[in-house]
Chain A
Amino acid sequence: MALQGTCREINDVAIIDFSGKITLGEGSSTLRRTIKELIDKGHRKIVLNLYDVDYIDSSGIGELVSGYTTVRNAEGELKLLHLTKRVHDLLQITRLFTVFDVQSDEDTALRSFR
């Protein structure tokens, strides 16, 4: 299933609810475009809600890392929310749990922004 993202805003935090796959090609491009658009619009507090993303390949992982760096370079913060087990395991074995701020509760994620 192609990646789809729906953006909502709570206070000054942009939350994107994603569903589908983040894989080489369309999925990775959609993620990159979404983050770039948010940054261009001035958002600096971004949550990627991956509740319905059950599949990420190495290209998708690279795009998540790229998004993290893009937001950080813009002096913003990017957090991940509601990881599925497979995505959780993938970030664990690639040691990216030590890079990303991963949250399992939306309210906690919102409160965790500086």
Chain B
Amino acid sequence: MAAKTQRIEITLETLLESVDLAEVIVMRIAEAAGFSEEDIHKMGMAVREGVINAYNYGNQQIRDKKIFMTVELEPDKMIVRVLDQGKGFELTEVPDPLAEENLLRTSGRGLFLMRAFMDEFNVHTAPGGGAELVMVKKLPEPVSGNGS
């Protein structure tokens, strides 16, 4: 029988506390799914950055707006989506934080960290207009035994 995809949907308030909450939730799910300690840290941090992005730039700290986080566990990977209620943006328009002229900028590294810490990262503009950040981490290969 094929393993089912498990899906969890969470609606977060546009509050600073939601950043920590989202990070903790994803880290616990990742731990239960069997990711390594280092991968759990990276996934937590990537999701933290995603929710910071939604809180600060997407929803612009407007209290009435929501942040929608979805976590999907597939047999071989975990997918986290963070959707805000802002105007959306194009990845190509985001300045490269590694460029010499941007090194002393005090912001603009969140998207880079998400990309660095996950196996796949992408941004879509949702039908309603918000930005949807999609982050994928592959599950570790199961260790094969000598037969049982």
Chain A: minimal CB distance from B84 (Å): 16
Most A CB contacts (10 A, CB to CB) among B48, B109, B112, B116 go to B109
- Chain A residues within 8 Å of B, Cβ to Cβ: 23-25, 55, 57-59, 61-63, 65-66, 68-69, 86, 93-96, 98-99
Contacts of B49 in A (CB 8 A): 57-58
Apart from A55-B45, A62-B109: 5 A-B pairs, beta carbons within 8 A: A57-B49, A61-B109, A65-B103, A94-B97, A94-B112
Chain B contact residues, CB within 8 Å of chain A: 16, 19, 41, 45, 48-49, 52, 97-98, 103-107, 109-110, 112-113, 116
29 contacts between A and B (CB under 8 A): A23-B19, A23-B48, A24-B16, A25-B16, A25-B19, A55-B45, A57-B45, A57-B52, A57-B113, A58-B109, A59-B52, A61-B109, A62-B105, A62-B106, A62-B107, A62-B109, A65-B103, A65-B104, A65-B105, A66-B106, A69-B104, A69-B106, A94-B97, A94-B98, A94-B109, A94-B113, A95-B103, A99-B103, A99-B104
Query: In the assembly, what is the distance between CA of A96 and CA of B98, in Å?
Result: 9
- CB–CB A65/B106 < 8 A: yes
Instruction: Report how far A93 CA is from B97 CA in the complex, Å.
Output: 10
Which residues of B are found within 8 Å of A58, using beta-carbon distances?
49, 52, 107, 109-110, 113
Complex: A95 Cα to B97 Cα, angstroms: 9
* Inter-chain contacts of B113 with A (CB < 8 A): 57-58, 94
Check if B107 sits within 8 Å of A98, measured CB to CB.
no
**Complex Cα gap A62–B112 (Å):** 13
Closest beta carbon of chain A to B48's beta carbon, Å: 6
CB-CB nearest in chain B for A54? B41
Report Cα–Cα, A93/B98, bound state, in Å: 9
Closest CB of chain A to B71's CB: distance in Å? Answer: 20
In the complex, what residues of B have CB within 8 A of residue A59's CB?
52
- Residues of the A chain whose Cβ atoms lie less than 8 Å from the Cβ of B41: 86
Find chain B residues with CB under 8 A from A68 CB. Answer: 104
A residues in contact with B48, CB < 8 Å: 23, 57
- Would you give the shortest CB distance from B117 to chain A, in whole angstroms? 9
CB-defined contacts of A55 to chain B, threshold 8 Å: 45
Determine the residue in chain B with the shortest Cβ distance to A55: B45
